[in-house]
Amino acid sequence: MALLLLSLGLSLVSAQELNPRAIVRKSYDMAKVSGVWYSVSMASDDMKRIEENGDLRVFIRNIESLKDGGLRFHFLFMVHGECVQVAMVCERTERDGEYAVSYEGDNKVFLLETDYKLYITFHLRNIRNGTDTNVLALYGRVPNLSPSFLNRFEKVCRKYGLGPQNIISLSNQNTCFKYKK
pLDDT digits (tens, 9 = 90+) for 123-139: 999 999 999 999 999 99
**Cα 133 → chain centroid:** 16
- Residue 148: how many CB atoms within 10 A of its CB? 14
Percentage of residues of the chain with pLDDT beyond 70: 87
Exposure string for 50-70, b = 16+ CB within 10 A, e = fewer = beeebbbbbbbbebbbeeeeb
Q: What is the pLDDT of residue 171?
A: 86
CATH of domain 31-177: 2.40.128.20
Q: How confident is the model at residue 23 (pLDDT cuts 50, 70, 90)?
A: very high
Does the pLDDT of residue 181 top 50, yes or no? Answer: no
Does the pLDDT of residue 1 top 50, yes or no? Answer: no
Backbone φ and ψ for 132, nearest 5 degrees, come out as -100, 120
More confident residue, 26 or 80: 26
Q: Provide the terminal-to-terminal Cα distance of the chain, rounded to the nearest Å.
A: 32
* CB-count burial class (<10 Å; 0-12, 13-18, 19+) for 110: middle
Does the pLDDT of residue 40 top 60, yes or no? Answer: yes
Q: What is the pLDDT of residue 53?
A: 82
Q: What is the pLDDT of residue 103?
A: 86
CA distance 159 to 68: 31
> What is the pTM for the complete model shown?
0.87
The radius of gyration of the chain's CA atoms, rounded to the nearest angstrom, is 17
Distances (CA, A) of 16 to 13, 32, 128, 142, 145: 5, 18, 38, 9, 7
Q: How confident is the model at residue 164 (pLDDT cuts 50, 70, 90)?
A: very high
Average pLDDT (87-105) is: 94
As a residue count, the chain comes to 181
Q: What is the pLDDT of residue 6?
A: 36
Does the pLDDT of residue 178 top 70, yes or no? Answer: no
- The closest alpha carbon to 113, from 67, 159, 47, 170, belongs to 159
Q: What is the pLDDT of residue 68?
A: 95
Give long-range contacts, CB 8 A cutoff, 24+ apart: 25-30. Answer: 25/112, 25/113, 26/96, 26/97, 27/96, 28/96, 28/97, 28/111, 28/114, 29/116, 30/65, 30/69, 30/71
Q: What is the pLDDT of residue 13?
A: 43
Q: What is the pLDDT of residue 5?
A: 38
